[in-house]
Chain A
Amino acid sequence: MKDFLFNFKMPEHFFITGDPLIYGAYVSIILVSLAILFVLTYYKKWVWLWREWLTTVDHKKIGIMYLVAALLMLFRGGVDALLMRIQLTAPNMHFLDAEHYNQIFTTHGTIMILFMAMPFLIGLMNVAIPLQIGARDVAFPALNAVSFWMFAAGAMLFNISFVLGGSPDAGWTSYTPLAGSALDPGPGQNYYLLGLQIAGIGTLVTGINFLVTILKMRAPGMTLWRMPLFSWSTLITSVIIIFAFPVLTIALALLTLDRVFGFHFFTLAGGGSPMMWANLFWIWGHPEVYIVILPAFGLFSEIFSTFARKKLFGYNAMVYSMLAISALSFLVWVHHFFTMGSGPWINSILSISTMLIAIPTGVKVFNWLFTLYKGRVEFKTPMLWALGFIPIFLVGGITGVMLAVAPADYQYHNSYFLIAHFHYVLIGGTVYGCIAGLIYYWPKIVGWLLNEHLGKWAFWWFTIGFNLCFIPMYIVGLKGMTRRMYTYPAGLGWETWNLIATIGAFAMGIGFIILVWNMYYSFKHRQNDTTGDPWNGRTLEWMTSSPAAEYNFAVIPQVKGLDAFYLIKKERAAGVKEEAPEIKPIHMPKREAFPVIMSAFMFVAGFGFVFEWLQIGFLGLLGSVITMIWRSFNDYDRDYYIPVEEVKKTELAAGRRV
C-alpha cells in the first residue's frame, strides 16, 4: 500500500531542458501566468471571473470561451507549422533535429484538428444555434459547461506536454506499433491519449446536447424543413459525433490500457493486432473530417444567402446532400490505408464509395454558385472568405477524387500530394468557414463590427500565402517527397518548391496577425452595431440585439417559413401591423460550479495517468465521480425567473421597443 501511494516513478526527463525554444516557453508561461494573476488581483476580478465565466451556463459565453481557446490553439498550431516550414526551407537544415520535428508535426496535426477546428466550430454553434432556432439556451445548459471544461482540461493537458515530460511524437494518427510502449516509451504518447480522451468526452456531450436542442427547442412554427442550413448542418454533425466519437473513446482507452497497464490489444506479442488501431482510428477519423466540414458548409450557406441577398438555391437538395455525405462518411475509412494490403475487392469498393462523396459535394458547390445567380453580391469580409472557399475547396475536392483512385493512391499515399490535398480541404473548407463565421457573427458576439479594410488585407495575405504554401506541396509530392521527413537531401528538385512553400506559410502567418490585430483595432475604433442586424440577415439570430440579452428573445418569435427574419422584415416593410407581444417572466438556468470542478479533477487524473502515477490518476477520477454524485443529490433550485420589469429594462436599454 505504501509502495503504491508513494511510488512516483520519474520519466527520464520531467522538465524538458536543453533547447532555447523550451526555455523561452517556460519563461513566457511563467510571465503570462503571473501577469494574469496580477491583473485579476489588482482589478479585483476574481469574483467576476468565477461568477461570469468559470461557472456560466450561458451558451453565448461558453461559445466565446470556445472561440478564444480555438484562436489560441490556432496560434500554437500555426507556430508549429512555421517551425516545420523553417526547417524545410532548404535541404539539410539543422534548425530542428529529428526528435523535435517529430514532436512538432504530431502536436501540429492533433492541435489543429482536435483543439482548433473542433472548438472553433463548436464555439460558433454555441454562439449561433440557440439564437438561430429561437431558443433561450441549449437543452442542457450545465452539460454544455461540462463540454467546454472537459475540452479545456484536455487541451491544457495536451499543451503542457511541451514543457513537462515531452510531447507525443508518433504523428496525429498515432499508429501502433510505433505508438506502443515498446517503441515509444515515456509520457509523450500518454499525453496524446489522455488529452484526447478527456476532450473527446466533451465533444460527445456537445453532440448529444445539440441534437436534443435542435430537435426539441425550436421556436413555434419552425419545422425541420424551415430550419436554416447552419442548424441543419449542426444537427447532422451532432448525429455523426454521437456515432463516431465513442469509437475514438474506445480506441484511446484500449491503447491506454496497452501502454499504462501492459495489455496487448495492439501489440503483436500476446496476440494483439496493430492493424486494429488503423481501423478504429479511421472509423472515427473519417467521419471526424465531416464533423469539421459540415458545420462550415452550413456557415457558408448562411453567408452566401445573406450577401447575395437571395434565398439559398436548392434548399432541399442542400439538406439531402448533407445527409448523403454523413452516411457516406462512415463507409470510406479504408481509403486511408489502401496500401496496407486490404486486397483488390475491398480497395475497389472503398475507392468507389469514396468517389461517390464527390456527387453530393458537387451538388452543394453548384447550388452555392446558383445562389449568387441573379443576386446582388456584396463583397463584405465574411463573403470574401466564403467566396475564397469555392476555388480552394474545388482544388482540394478534385485532388481528393484523384486520391480515391486506389491504384493511383499507391503513388500519392503519405506523400506531400496528400498533405496538400487535406490542407486544401481542411483550410479551404474548415478554416475559411470558421473565419468567415467568426467575422459574420462577430457583431452578434461582442456588439461591434470588425474593420472591413483590415479584414480584406487579412484575407488576401492569407489566401495568396495559402496557395503559395500548398500548391508546391502537390508538386514535391509527385516528385517523391514523403510527409514527416524532418529534412531532405539536395538535388532531387525539391528545393525551390519548399522555399516557395515556406514563404507562403509566413504570408499566411501575416494574414493571421492582421486578423487578430483587426480585433484590437476595431475595438479601439468601435463601430457599434445598434440594430442587431448589421448584414441585413435572414435568420432569427439577427432579430435579437447585439450582443443578445442573457435570455436571447424577450418573446419567442413565431416562424412562418424559411428565412424567418427575412419574412418578418418583409411584412414590416409592407406595413403589416405586428401585435405587441406580451412579455412574461423568463425561465432561465442558474450558474453551475460543478463543471469546472469536475473537469479540474479530470485534469489531475489525466496528469497522473500520463506519468503512470496511478495513485494520482485514480484520485482524480474519484474526485470527478464524487463531484458528479454530489451534483446529482443537489438537483434542486437550479433555475430562476427573470421578472417582466427586468426584461423590459434590458430591452429598452438595448434600444428595443417593448
Chain B
Amino acid sequence: MRLKTKYAAIFLTMALLLSGCSSLKSGVLNPQGPVAKEQYDLIIWSIVLMSIVFIAVIVLFVYMLVKYRAKSSDEDYVETEEKENKWLEILWTAIPVVIIIALSIPTVKSTFKLEKSPSPNQKPITIQVTSANWKWIFKYPEQGIETVNYVNIPANVPVRFQLNAVGPMNSFWVPELGGQEYTMPGMTMYLWLEADKAGTYIGRSANFSGKDFTHMQFNVHSLEKGKFDEWIANVKKSAPKQTTDMFKQLLQPGVVKEQTYSSYPNVDVNRLDENGNPIIAPNSHQHGKSDDTEMKMDMNMNMDMNSNSHHNMNH
C-alpha cells in the first residue's frame, strides 16, 4: 500500500512534468543568442551528468527498499557483521570525481570565454546601464542617446553592457539572451550579450532592491541593423533632450514609464557625495547635439515603435 502511494506520487509528478514540457520553451531554456546558448549547452550537459547520478541512486534506493524490507518470514533475522567494503567505497568516490572533472572542464572554459565578446570579429556596441530606485536607465555613449525602462539593441552585434547602480544593488538579467550580472553602486561591471535575431525579450532585476523591485521589468528589443540605425536617427531627430534637472528627477525613488531622450547630461554615477548620491554638476556637458535650451516636455513620452511592440515570450 505504502509503495503504491509512492509510485502514484512519482507517476503524478512525472505526468505534471511532461505536460509542462511543451511550455518549457521560454526563459533560460529558450536561448536566443550566443551567450545564452553557451550557458544553455552547459546546463544541458550538467543535467545529463546529474541524471546518471539520479538514476543510479534511485535504482539502488528502490532496490534496497523492496528487497530488504522487513517481512514476517525473516523474524529470525541475524545481523551481519559486515561493516564496510573498501572497493565499493572507492568506486562511489571515484565515479563522482570523474563526473566532476567532466563538468569542471567546460565550466572553466565557459567562465573565461564569457568574459569576452561572443563575436570577437564583430564591432561591438557599448550601452551603459544604471539601475536606480526602481528603474533602468540605458545610455548609448557612442550614439549620445538615452532610454529608460527599455533598451534597443542591434541584432547580431555583440553588446557590451556597462553596469552601475545608484542606491541599492540590482541584477541585470535577460534570460533569453544570457545570464545576469549585478549592478552595484560605486563599481562598474561588464556583461556581454548578443541577440541572434530580431525580437523582444523580457529583462528584469534579479536582486531585491526594495519596495518597487518587482516592477523593474523592461523589454529588450533586438532590431535588424538597418532598423536600429533608423531608430537612432529618429531618436536624435525627434526625442527631447534630458537636462540635468530631469536626470536628477529621474533618480528620485519611484516607478516611471518608458522614456527616450536624444541627449543626456554628463554625470559619472560612480562619483558620490557624502550621502551616497551621484554628484551632478549644475551645468554638465550635454551629450549629443545640444544647445542647452530649457525644454518643458512630456517625461513619459513613448516612441511609436515601442508602444505597439509586444514580447514574444508566450506562444
Contacts and interface: CB of A to CB of B under 8 A. Distances in A.
A405 B82 CA distance: 38
Contacts of A231: none
Nearest to A352: B104
A362 B68 contact: no
B306 interface: no
Contacts, number: 282
A339 B161 CA distance: 14
B208 interface: yes
Contacts of B209: 178
Interface string A481-516: 011111111011100110010000000000000000
Interface in A87-107: 98-99, 102
Contacts of A479: 24, 26-29, 175
Given A358-B100, A375-B68, A475 B20 contact: yes
Interface string B19-44: 01001101111000000101100110
B185 interface: yes
Given A177-B276, A311-B81, A407 B17 contact: no
A351 B212 contact: no
A348 interface: yes
A351 B16 CA distance: 32
A410 B181 contact: yes
Output the residue of B28, B111, B213 with the most chain A CB within 10 A. Answer: B111
A236 interface: no
Nearest to A175: B169
Interface stretch (A285-293, A363-371, A432-440): A363-371
Contacts of A585: none
Nearest to B134: A98
Interface in A385-413: 387, 390-391, 394-395, 398-399, 401-402, 405-413
Contact of B276 (A99, A269, A414): A269
Contacts of A182: 275-276
B96 A358 contact: yes
B211 A102 contact: yes
A401 B314 contact: no
Interface stretch (B53-61, B136-144, B222-230): B53-61
A68 interface: no
A372 B82 CA distance: 12
Interface stretch (B72-80, B117-125, B240-248, B297-305): B72-80
Interface in B184-232: 184-187, 189, 202, 204-214, 217
A407 B39 contact: yes
Given A340-B184, A413-B180, A98 B64 contact: no
Contacts of B29: 478-479
A159 interface: no
By Cβ-Cβ distance, the 7 closest A-B pairs, closest first, are: A410-B179, A480-B27, A398-B50, A178-B168, A479-B27, A372-B64, A407-B110
25 contacts: A177-B167, A177-B169, A178-B210, A269-B274, A269-B276, A314-B84, A314-B89, A358-B100, A370-B85, A374-B80, A377-B70, A394-B58, A398-B50, A398-B53, A399-B50, A402-B46, A406-B110, A410-B181, A411-B175, A413-B206, A414-B207, A480-B26, A480-B175, A480-B204, A482-B206
Given A311-B83, A352-B100, 16 more contacts: A98-B213, A102-B211, A170-B210, A274-B186, A343-B115, A344-B115, A363-B93, A372-B68, A379-B69, A390-B57, A391-B61, A406-B107, A456-B2, A475-B24, A479-B175, A480-B204
Interface of A: 98-99, 102, 170-171, 175, 177-178, 182-184, 267-270, 274-275, 308-317, 337, 339-341, 343-344, 347-348, 351-352, 355-356, 358-359, 362-363, 365-367, 369-370, 372-379, 387, 390-391, 394-395, 398-399, 401-402, 405-415, 417, 456, 460, 463-464, 467, 471, 475, 478-480, 482-489, 491-493, 496-497, 500
